[in-house]
C-alpha cells in the first residue's frame, strides 16, 4: 500500500506529516491537483496498518456516491477499487458506501448533510473533502470524538469565498500544530516535470467562456472570489470592507428581536437570528442553528441568551408554517410555542423569491454582525447560492438547498419582516385617523 498509486512531489509533504503522527491538516489545492486521490490512498494505507473506522466526507451523500463510490479516475479505474484492492476488502456494502477490510477496519463515504446519522461511531480518521462547501457543523460533531481518541482530520478543498473554509485556512496557516498547504497551478507538476494544469489548458477554458473569477478560484485558489452564483457575495464583501463584521456588544436596555426558520425535517436545521435595532443600525448579535431538536430546545436557547446577557425580548418572528399542526399532538406549532412562553408574530409567505432576495440585499447595508456569535450564520449567508444548470450552462433562479439554506431563509424572514413593518408604518402615518395603538419604533 498504496496500491497502484504514486505520491507526487506536491503530495509528499502532507503524506509525511500524517505518516509521522500529525493529527490536523488543511490542503487548499487547485482543481485536478489530486486532493481526493491523495486522501483516499493515504486513508487506505492507514486503515490496513491500524484497525479503526475511517470516514471520507463530502458535502452531500449524493456527491459522495457520484464522485467517489461510482467515480472513475483518469486511468479508467474505479476510484474506490484503485485505493482498496479486492485483496484487502472483506465485504462491501453499496447502500452504506462502506468497506470492511480483512483486518477489521471500516472505511465509509458519507455526506455532511447527513453527519448526524453516524451517531455512535468512533472514527480514527476523517477526511473532509470540499470542506468549503460542507456543513461546518459536521466538524463540530467530529472534533470531540477525535480529541478523545487521538484521531486525525484532513480538510481538502478549493477556495470558495471567505466562508468557513477561508477561516479554517487562516487558522491552519498560523497554527504551528497544523499542517497547511496552499497550492496553485504554478506549484504542481507531474513526475516528468510538466505542469498538472498547463497555461494552454487554462486559456482554452477562458476561450470556452470560463469567467476570470472562476479561473482565479479553481486554478489559483483565490479566497477573494465569491462562491459562483452566491446571492449575497457583494453584501458580505461590503460588510467586511466597512468593518461591520466585528465585535458587537449586547445592549441590555434595548429589546432583542428574534427571526426563525422552522426546518425540523431530516436535513433541515431550525435557525434563530437575534437582532437589536439601534437608530438606523441593525445589530445582528447572535445566531443559533441545530437539526433534529424539539421546539423546547430552541426556547431553552432563547431563555439562556436572555439570562446570560440580561436582555428583554421584543418580538419573535416565524414563517407561515408556524401554523402547521403537529401530527403527534394535533396542536399548531404557534400554540405549542405560546404554552412555552414564546408568542410569535407570523411573517407572511413571500411569493417571489427574487423580490425577497432584493429586499434582503437592501437591508444588508444597515446590518452589523458580531463576528464570533454569528460566525456560522455569516458563513451560511456567504455560501447561499444559486443552482447551476450544467445542461444549459447557466444559473437557475432557485437556490441550492444545502446546509446554508435555512440560515439564509431565516435572514430573509428578518428582511421581509423589517420591510413589511416599515411599509405599514408609512401607511399608518398617513392614515386618517392615525392608528396610535401600534408601536413601530423598534423597526425605525
CATH number at residue 136: 3.40.50.300
The band of 444, judged by pLDDT with boundaries at 50, 70 and 90, is very low
Q: What is the CATH number of the domain that holds 320?
A: 3.30.420.280
pTM: 0.77
What digits encode the pLDDT tens for the residues 300-344?
Answer: 999 999 999 999 999 999 888 777 766 556 678 788 888 888 898
Does residue 206 sit in the same domain as residue 280? no
**Total domains present in the chain:** 2
User: Does residue 228 form part of some domain?
Assistant: no
Please name the residues in contact with 141: beta carbons below 8 A apart, sequence gap of 6 or more. Answer: 115, 116
What digits encode the pLDDT tens for the residues 73-115?
Answer: 888 888 899 999 999 999 999 999 999 999 999 999 999 988 8
User: Does residue 6 form part of some domain?
Assistant: no
Give the phi and the psi of residue 399 in degrees, each rounded to 5: -80, 155
Does residue 209 sit in the same domain as residue 267? no
User: Does residue 390 form part of some domain?
Assistant: yes
Q: Are strands 106-111 and 98-101 parallel, antiparallel or unpaired?
A: antiparallel
Q: Are strands 98-101 and 89-93 parallel, antiparallel or unpaired?
A: antiparallel
C-alpha cell at position 336: 405549542
Does residue 199 sit in the same domain as residue 340? no
- The span from the CA of 380 to the CA of 378, in Å, is 5
Question: What whole-number percentage of the chain has pLDDT above 70?
Answer: 90
Does residue 268 sit in the same domain as residue 315? yes
Look at residues 234, 305, 230 and name the one whose alpha carbon lies nearest to residue 272: 305
As to burial, measured by CB atoms within 10 angstroms (0-12 exposed, 13-18 middle, 19+ buried), residue 199 is exposed
User: Does residue 176 form part of some domain?
Assistant: yes
**Which residue's entry shows cell 443559533?**
288
**What is the per-residue pLDDT for 390?**
60
Q: Of 163, 190, 220, which residue is a domain's last?
A: 220
**What is the per-residue pLDDT for 434?**
34
Does residue 336 sit in the same domain as residue 203? no
User: Does residue 229 form part of some domain?
Assistant: no
Does residue 211 sit in the same domain as residue 251? no
Does residue 22 sit in the same domain as residue 132? yes
Question: What whole-number percentage of the chain has pLDDT above 90?
Answer: 58
User: Does residue 3 form part of some domain?
Assistant: no
Q: Is 180 helix (H, G, I), strand (E, B) or coil?
A: strand
User: Does residue 211 form part of some domain?
Assistant: yes
Q: Of 161, 186, 220, which residue is a domain's last?
A: 220
- The span from the CA of 270 to the CA of 289, in Å, is 5
Does residue 83 sit in the same domain as residue 53? yes
- The span from the CA of 442 to the CA of 281, in Å, is 11
What digits encode the pLDDT tens for the residues 390-435?
Answer: 666 667 778 888 888 889 999 998 998 887 665 433 333 333 333 3
**Choice among 23-27, 121-125, 398-402 with the minimum mean pLDDT:** 398-402
Q: Are 51 and 180 in contact (CB under 8 A)?
A: no
C-alpha cell at position 232: 449575497
Q: Are 72 and 79 in contact (CB under 8 A)?
A: yes
Query: What mean pLDDT, rounded, does the chain reach?
Result: 87
Does residue 197 sit in the same domain as residue 283? no
Does residue 190 sit in the same domain as residue 76? yes
Does residue 148 sit in the same domain as residue 47? yes
Q: Where in the sequence is the domain holding 207, given as residue range(s)?
A: 12-220
User: Does residue 423 form part of some domain?
Assistant: yes
375-383 vs 233-241: helix crossing angle, rounded to 10: 140
Q: Are 407 and 279 in contact (CB under 8 A)?
A: no
Does residue 244 sit in the same domain as residue 372? yes
Q: Cβ–Cβ contacts within 10 Å for residue 217, how many?
A: 23
What digits encode the pLDDT tens for the residues 41-69?
Answer: 999 999 999 999 999 999 999 999 999 99
The answer on pLDDT for 295 being more than 80 is: yes
Q: What is the mean pLDDT of residues 209-237?
A: 87
Amino acid at each position: 500500500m498504496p496500491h497502484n498509486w504514486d505520491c507526487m512531489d506536491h503530495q509528499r509533504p502532507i503524506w509525511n506529516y500524517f505518516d509521522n503522527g500529525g493529527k490536523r491538516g488543511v490542503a487548499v489545492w487547485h482543481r485536478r491537483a489530486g486532493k481526493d486521490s491523495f486522501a483516499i490512498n493515504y486513508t487506505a494505507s492507514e486503515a490496513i496498518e491500524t484497525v479503526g473506522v475511517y470516514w471520507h466526507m463530502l458535502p452531500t451523500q449524493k456527491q459522495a456516491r457520484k464522485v467517489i463510490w461510482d467515480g472513475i479516475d483518469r486511468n479508467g479505474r474505479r476510484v474506490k477499487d484503485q485505493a482498496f484492492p479486492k485483496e484487502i476488502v472483506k465485504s462491501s456494502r453499496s447502500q452504506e458506501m462502506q468497506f470492511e477490510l480483512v483486518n477489521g477496519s471500516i472505511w465509509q463515504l458519507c455526506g455532511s448533510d447527513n453527519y448526524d446519522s453516524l451517531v455512535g461511531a468512533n472514527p480514527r480518521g476523517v477526511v473532509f473533502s470540499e470542506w468549503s462547501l460542507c456543513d461546518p457543523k459536521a466538524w463540530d460533531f467530529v472534533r470531540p470524538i477525535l480529541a478523545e481518541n487521538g484521531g486525525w482530520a484532513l480538510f481538502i478543498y478549493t477556495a470558495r469565498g471567505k466562508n468557513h473554509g477561508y477561516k479554517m485556512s487562516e487558522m491552519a496557516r498560523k497554527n504551528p500544530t497544523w499542517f497547511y498547504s496552499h497550492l496553485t497551478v504554478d506549484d504542481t507538476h507531474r513526475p516528468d516535470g510538466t505542469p498538472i494544469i498547463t497555461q494552454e489548458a487554462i486559456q482554452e477554458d477562458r476561450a470556452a467562456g470560463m469567467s476570470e473569477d472562476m479561473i482565479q478560484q479553481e486554478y489559483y485558489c483565490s479566497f477573494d472570489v465569491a462562491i459562483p452564483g452566491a446571492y449575497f457575495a457583494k453584501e458580505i464583501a461590503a460588510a467586511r470592507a466597512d468593518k461591520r463584521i466585528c465585535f458587537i456588544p449586547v445592549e441590555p436596555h434595548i429589546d432583542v428581536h428574534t427571526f426563525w426558520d422552522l426546518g425540523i425535517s431530516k436535513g433541515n436545521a431550525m435557525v434563530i437570528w437575534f437582532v437589536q435595532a439601534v437608530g438606523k443600525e441593525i445589530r445582528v448579535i447572535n445566531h443559533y442553528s441545530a437539526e433534529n431538536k424539539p421546539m423546547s430546545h430552541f426556547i431553552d436557547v432563547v431563555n439562556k441568551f436572555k439570562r446570560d446577557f440580561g436582555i428583554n425580548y421584543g418580538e419573535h418572528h416565524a414563517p407561515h408554517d408556524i401554523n402547521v399542526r403537529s401530527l403527534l399532538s394535533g396542536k399548531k406549532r404557534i400554540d405549542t410555542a405560546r404554552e412555552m412562553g414564546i408568542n410569535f408574530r407570523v411573517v407572511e409567505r413571500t411569493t417571489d423569491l427574487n423580490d425577497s432576495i432584493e429586499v434582503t440585499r437592501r437591508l444588508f447595508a444597515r446590518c452589523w454582525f458580531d463576528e464570533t456569535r454569528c460566525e456560522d450564520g455569516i458563513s451560511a449567508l456567504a455560501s447561499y447560492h444559486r443552482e447551476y444548470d450544467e445542461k444549459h450552462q447557466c444559473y437557475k433562479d432557485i437556490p441550492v438547498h444545502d446546509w446554508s439554506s435555512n440560515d439564509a431563509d431565516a435572514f430573509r424572514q428578518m428582511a421581509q419582516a423589517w420591510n413589511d413593518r416599515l411599509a405599514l408604518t408609512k401607511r399608518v402615518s398617513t392614515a386618517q385617523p392615525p392608528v396610535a395603538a401600534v408601536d413601530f419604533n423598534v423597526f425605525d
